[in-house]
Structure 1
Amino acid sequence: MLTQTAFARPGAGSVYTDMPTDFHEINSTFDYVRRDVMIPMRDGVRLHTIILVPKDAKNAGMLMTRTPYNAAHMASLGSSSHMASILPGYDNMPDVIVDGGYIRVLQDIRGKYGSEGEFVMNRPMRGPLNSTAVDESTDTWDTIEWLVHNVPQSNGKVGILGVSYDGYTAITALFHPHPALKVSVPMNPMVDGWMGDDWFHNGAFREEMLPYIYDQGATRKNTAEWWSSTFDAYAFFLNGVSAGAVGKSRGMDQIGFFRQLLTHPAYDTWWQLQALDRLLSREGLKVPTMLVHSLWDQEDNYGAIAVYDALRKHPKARPNLWLAMGPWNHGGEIHAASMLGSIDLHSDTGLYFRRHVLMPFLAHYLKDEAIALPARVTAYRSGEDEWETMDSLPAPECDDQCSFLYFQQNHGLAFKKASGSSGHFTYVSDPDHPVPYVTLPVVPKDNVNSGWRWWLTADQRNAAARPDVLSLTSEVLTAPFTITGEPLMHLTAATTGTDGDFVVKLIDVYPDEVASQPTMGGYQLMVSGNILRGRYRKSFERPEPIPANKKQIYPVRLPMVNHTFLPGHRIMIQVQSSWFPLYDRNPQTYVDNIMVAPKEAYKPATISVDVSESWLELHGSAKSAL
């Protein structure tokens, strides 16, 4: 029983001191030791780093993630005495890290959260765009150098992995790598922000990414949060007119990266000189690397495949190159993944990847025991819901295994070009009524009930019902039709405007009734889709107006597909000229910079698609399926 004498009495009129001068945590029962350190870089800047060491670790490999997303939050400070319990969340995989016995290293990149220095979005590698002595690769090198000398429980072997921006830093670590870097796993990495990752896709700006740029670029600790007075993002961005005007209305012209976006709307040297697939193809690949790609990645569905294609023929890169791709959204591979939006995959595909692909790959290079490597390519085939392995993906160039889906006059598709199929389809594209990318209202992507995570798997029937969306459908398939690769649309069309966008979607149409999952009856699952800004139809670097009322060829390259269209299903292609507010509206009147287009430039245009001169090129066979 406590007595009054158990505590010191304060003097008359004084109060108790609540906070001790030096508080000592009672953590002797923890199964890990946590270290918070500031690691010095070569220019004197110190980077905040958290090191989680399993209590009984000895000769353990280290797994590092370098992030702009708050290292402290990724290792929930003081929430549990068990290492496995503090790791769930962004980029952490307890089954991989804890079960593997690894030392976990989390670091804030320079300029974010606990780290010193200045933040630069996707900081360019040293060279023409970066004349300083530091970049993400040097910061990684300096960090590893410190770790191997200051973490005595390690075996001196380091791996780096991460999703999205953290996948970007996992790639930058491959430039002039530290000798102790033994393996890298970039997952859904940001690679080329103009060609097809976060910022642009073939010249069309991803307007829904403005809040991300605001949150990341305005303050060190993301204390300035994007705000809106409109629940529906569709209405908000429509009323804002252009992406530039919306950004400026939120004060984003104070943010350096936003100003760069306004300055570089085309694929000029500023973009080309920082595209990691281009740079890495010249650097080569000295570290064993597994690229991880999500087939339904709503944010970065370009980067991993672009790097793979850039390196697969490189003689010094091929021995160190692996690829895994599965039926996931952005980062879905690190979570339970038995569902793909509404699609039942019938097994936990994320667990399969981590257990049978990622864990043995990491263990082979980070542990001191002989563990067999996975196949060079591990790929999930959707439709049939099966994993398969191969030595490499099919070459991007078409060969004798290619098939062609030709447009037909009756809004049909066929593997054979129909005789007498001349003619055209028309629709009116009105910038005041753009096609939404999900069903209205568009809930902003970071809000509760937002459809952002699964928009690539959303049912496309609402789009098919619109008069400004051209839908073409095959007959019912009588045999499986399998495709692997990046489809290429050869679209021939004319417009009454002098600019315009062209969206192409490849869709798997389910049977009218699906006994095992009734809600999937007639479902239209987008297998792949992409956009091309018409001004870049001939050159991404040098835009030019579209001659009004004259047929032009629009080559639209679609993202990677590994899918089987099953018997009883049909194949659909949809063509439209807006995908809003996923992408900013094209005014359809040529202006120098669409990012700052004035309201009066936005005008309706009539699109005429030529039937006989439009087709989709596919890496697949089984023409008897129709």
Structure 2
Amino acid sequence: MVWKYALGLALMLGVAVPAIASPATYDERPAKLTNPNDFRDFDRRVVEIAMRDGVKLHTVILVPKGAKGAAMLLTRTPYNAEDQTSYGHSPHLASRIDGYDSAPDVVIGGGYIRVVQDVRGKYGSGGTYVMNRPFVGTSLNPTKVDHATDTYDTIEWLVKHVPESNGRVGILGISYDGFTALAALVNPHPALKVAVPMNPMVDGWRGDDWFHNGAYRQYNDDYVWEQVGTKDNSDHFETPNADVYDMFMRAGSAGALASAHGLDQIGFWQKLKAHQAYDSFWQEQAMDRILARAPLTVPTMLVHSLWDQEDIYGSPAVWRALKPADKAGNLYMSIGPWYHGQEIERADMLGPIRWDADTAKWWRMHVLAPFLAHFLYDKPMDVATVTAFQSGTNEWQRLPGWPTAPATTKLYLHADRSLGMAPSDSAARIDYVSDPATPVTFLPRPNKLVGYENNPWKTWLTTDQRPVSGRPDVLTFTGPMLDHAVTIAGMPIVHLTASTSGTDSDWVVKLIDVYPDEVATDPAMGGYQLAVGMDIFRGRYRQSLSKAEPITPDTPLAYEFALPQANHVFLPGHRIMVQIQSSWFPLYDRNPQTFVPSVMDAKPADYVKATQKVSVGGADGTYIDLPVVQ
């Protein structure tokens, strides 16, 4: 036998022979691997913090070595605390937190203790998961715990068990984590000294993730599946088409697609389907309404992105709700030229639009860092109540409030497809045919869902609108070349008068900055159509947001709705443009243009062509109220 020969040879040569392991112990891994961590400049602690109902929440604490009297920065997330605190392989804290929700330059520069916690029901935490868990005391939450109580209990534990801290806590986060940062302001813990909700989810019906003025954002179906379906997002939403335009079209209605893809088993999807109007379900959990019930006691900086493709409604809505009663001066706001969450990334560009500097880094160093340090370390700060980036001039502004101008300057649509600050004397109606079989796309095809590599989702709000401006089902109105700058700072209000041959309709209105035909310094921008603000309104909610009603066909009716906040200068040589259309697909589900009780359950026969007529000129002509700075 070969092994006997080898053993004999080893004995003759005097070589030590290790004991032959048994099959049960034949393993080269240690029973427990210990990392010496000698190279680390931080201490990583993982704890399970018990909440008042006994549920334990998985929490990662990163403490800089040698820290003493350090403040803590907390983020509560459904997006995996382990991933957010284990970036890369470096032993240096600055590299390990270079991920979602973290601004390493601010965290490291401030010497903060970084704390990231999985919300209940997600990843390492126990308990059940409910999307944007409603608050205790509402009809939507039968338990005695919510994000406010969980934050309170977490902070209570942290100030008692992290000896390196100074007993002060700040909370910050983006998107869902921005929502949890807002939730912390409801009955806040005394040790919570500052909050920075960035791009927070505030009202899922009015204009954040799920609906925009009643139109369902079906592009989020994959998020609903992955976020709610499993604890660790391990089961992925499968798309049978490389171009999801085809997937949504072939399915028909949003409800049919959801059923075909298994979403009917997801509790949150059932709620979306059951609450297509702005009923008590949405009103009871709108964060601006909740926070307005009590004075703000924690210094808070809301962070808003002018081209936020996911939560463009939230921060300004909270500002409007809270600032009038903010006698103590606790509420601040920052407005940046960013997509959703870009304030913690590099931000010298947004799509093809150049800002001439890294706007996010400037904001973090000159606004975020001193703001946090002031309330967590008593350091002096010089931060304005509102810090706003003005696109067009590409300059930061220090403002005492927001908006800086009322929306009272009327921009009128004219029958010759022009625009003007004065109405035309003659009234007219300009028509187009909206066909659900050939909907207007929000991006040129092919369309891909949000998570795919190289997807333009982040920057789609700044994409050139020329691909649709010449479609026969898109009305385009263009103003004269400007000989002077026109500055707007606030929320444009659409006053649309229109009729439809159908009994339901969607209306999409876009306010656009048209660049000069040639731009010498950037030839690619010649003639570019940059949307400054655009949104959709589902016509069935014209009379009441909380109750759907059919539209009287072939009757001019008034529609009023807001476009997102803008802080923009239309420069000399540019033109102002307005576009109107009746679909925005596949971002939003198609309106069948026949009134049915549930748009999500529309049948193929319900989808019909409709002739849309927009009224211009005269007493009832369509116009947009602009917040022009005089």
User: Which bin holds the TM-score, normalised by the shorter protein?
Assistant: over 0.9
Native 8 Å contact 1:443 1:449 kept in 2: no
Q: Does 1:447 align with 2:452?
A: yes
User: What TM-score comes out, normalization by structure 2 length?
Assistant: 0.95
What displacement does 1:89 show? Answer: 1.5
Q: Does 1:510 align with 2:520?
A: no
- Paired AA for residue 618 in structure 1: L
- Paired AA for residue 611 in structure 1: V
- Residue 531 (structure 1) aligns with: 536
Q: Does 1:131 align with 2:136?
A: no
What displacement does 1:465 show? Answer: 1.4
- Residue 168 (structure 1) aligns with: 179
Q: How do 1:224-263 and structure 2 match up within 5 A?
A: 224-263=235-274
Distance 2:19 2:573 in 1: 84
Native 8 Å contact 2:287 2:318 kept in 1: yes
Identity of aligned residues (%): 52
Q: Does 1:362 align with 2:382?
A: no
- Paired AA for residue 341 in structure 2: G
- Residue 371 (structure 1) aligns with: 380
Native 8 Å contact 1:504 1:556 kept in 2: no
Residue by residue over 1:282-303, the C-alpha shift from the partner in whole angstroms, topping out at 9 and shown as x without a partner, is: 1221100000000000000000
Q: Does 1:394 align with 2:403?
A: yes
Native 8 Å contact 1:34 1:53 kept in 2: yes
Native 8 Å contact 1:364 1:373 kept in 2: no
- Residue 618 (structure 1) aligns with: 626
What displacement does 1:470 show? Answer: 0.4
What displacement does 1:556 show? Answer: 2.3
Distance 1:27 1:614 in 2: 67
Native 8 Å contact 1:480 1:564 kept in 2: yes
Which of 453, 469, 472 matches 2:474?
469
Q: How do 1:598-613 and structure 2 match up within 5 A?
A: 598-612=603-617, 613=621
Native 8 Å contact 2:404 2:629 kept in 1: no
- Paired AA for residue 112 in structure 1: K
Distance 1:49 1:545 in 2: 50
- Residue 351 (structure 1) aligns with: 361
- Residue 64 (structure 1) aligns with: 74
Native 8 Å contact 2:339 2:350 kept in 1: yes
1:112 is paired with a residue of what secondary structure? coil
Which of 19, 23, 34 matches 1:24?
34
Which of 406, 411, 416 matches 1:410?
416
Distance verdict in 2 for CA 1:466–1:11, change over 3 Å: closer
Q: Which range moves more in the overlay, 460-469 or 447-456? A: 447-456
Which of 382, 390, 394 matches 1:381?
390
What displacement does 1:64 show? Answer: 0.5
What displacement does 1:451 show? Answer: 1.7
Which of 324, 338, 348 matches 2:334?
324
1:133 is paired with a residue of what secondary structure? coil
What displacement does 1:371 show? Answer: 1.6
What displacement does 1:12 show? Answer: 7.5
2:468 is paired with a residue of what secondary structure? helix
1:98 is paired with a residue of what secondary structure? helix
Residue by residue over 1:197-246, the C-alpha shift from the partner in whole angstroms, topping out at 9 and shown as x without a partner, is: 00000000001011001110100001110001101111111111111111
Residue by residue over 1:239-284, the C-alpha shift from the partner in whole angstroms, topping out at 9 and shown as x without a partner, is: 1111111111111111110000111100001110000001100122
Q: How do 1:420-435 and structure 2 match up within 5 A?
A: 420=426, 422-435=427-440
Residue by residue over 1:164-186, the C-alpha shift from the partner in whole angstroms, topping out at 9 and shown as x without a partner, is: 00000000000000000000000
Distance 1:375 1:7 in 2: 75
Which of 276, 284, 291 matches 1:273?
284
- Residue 310 (structure 2) aligns with: 299
1:361 is paired with a residue of what secondary structure? helix
Distance verdict in 2 for CA 1:77–1:467, change over 3 Å: closer
Unaligned runs of 5+ in 2: 1-12
Q: Does 1:198 align with 2:209?
A: yes
What displacement does 1:17 show? Answer: 2.7
1:319 is paired with a residue of what secondary structure? coil
- Paired AA for residue 208 in structure 2: D
Distance 2:278 2:17 in 1: 71
Distance verdict in 2 for CA 1:12–1:167, change over 3 Å: closer
Residue by residue over 1:382-428, the C-alpha shift from the partner in whole angstroms, topping out at 9 and shown as x without a partner, is: 00100001110137864xxx3111011110000111222x1111100
Distance verdict in 2 for CA 1:431–1:80, change over 3 Å: same
- Paired AA for residue 162 in structure 2: V
Larger radius of gyration: 2
Residue by residue over 1:90-124, the C-alpha shift from the partner in whole angstroms, topping out at 9 and shown as x without a partner, is: 11111011111000000000000000000100000
Native 8 Å contact 2:87 2:95 kept in 1: no
Distance 2:88 2:567 in 1: 43
What displacement does 1:159 show? Answer: 0.3
Distance 1:509 1:157 in 2: 49
What displacement does 1:13 show? Answer: 7.2
- Paired AA for residue 155 in structure 1: N
What displacement does 1:6 show? Answer: 8.5
Q: How do 1:587-602 and structure 2 match up within 5 A?
A: 587-602=592-607
- Residue 456 (structure 1) aligns with: 461
- Paired AA for residue 556 in structure 2: K
Residue by residue over 1:127-155, the C-alpha shift from the partner in whole angstroms, topping out at 9 and shown as x without a partner, is: 22112110000000000000000000000
- Paired AA for residue 534 in structure 2: G
Distance 1:492 1:547 in 2: 13
2:324 is paired with a residue of what secondary structure? coil
- Runs (4 or more) in structure 1 with deviation over 6 Å come to 3-7, 12-15
User: What TM-score comes out, normalization by structure 1 length?
Assistant: 0.96
Q: Does 1:484 align with 2:492?
A: no
Distance 1:587 1:415 in 2: 35
1:282 is paired with a residue of what secondary structure? coil
Native 8 Å contact 2:406 2:628 kept in 1: no
Distance 2:482 2:546 in 1: 41
Q: Which range moves more in the overlay, 76-85 or 126-135? A: 76-85
1:43 is paired with a residue of what secondary structure? coil
- Residue 35 (structure 1) aligns with: 45
Distance verdict in 2 for CA 1:186–1:11, change over 3 Å: closer
Residue by residue over 1:317-362, the C-alpha shift from the partner in whole angstroms, topping out at 9 and shown as x without a partner, is: x511000001000001110100011001110000011000000000
Native 8 Å contact 1:396 1:486 kept in 2: no
Distance 1:6 1:586 in 2: 81
Calculate the aligned-residue CA RMSD, in Å.
Answer: 1.5
- Paired AA for residue 409 in structure 2: S
Distance verdict in 2 for CA 1:59–1:499, change over 3 Å: same
Distance verdict in 2 for CA 1:470–1:411, change over 3 Å: same
Residue by residue over 1:554-610, the C-alpha shift from the partner in whole angstroms, topping out at 9 and shown as x without a partner, is: 112100000000000000000000000111100000000111111111111000000
Unaligned runs of 5+ in 1: none
Q: Does 1:549 align with 2:560?
A: no
Q: Which range moves more in the overlay, 557-566 or 8-17? A: 8-17
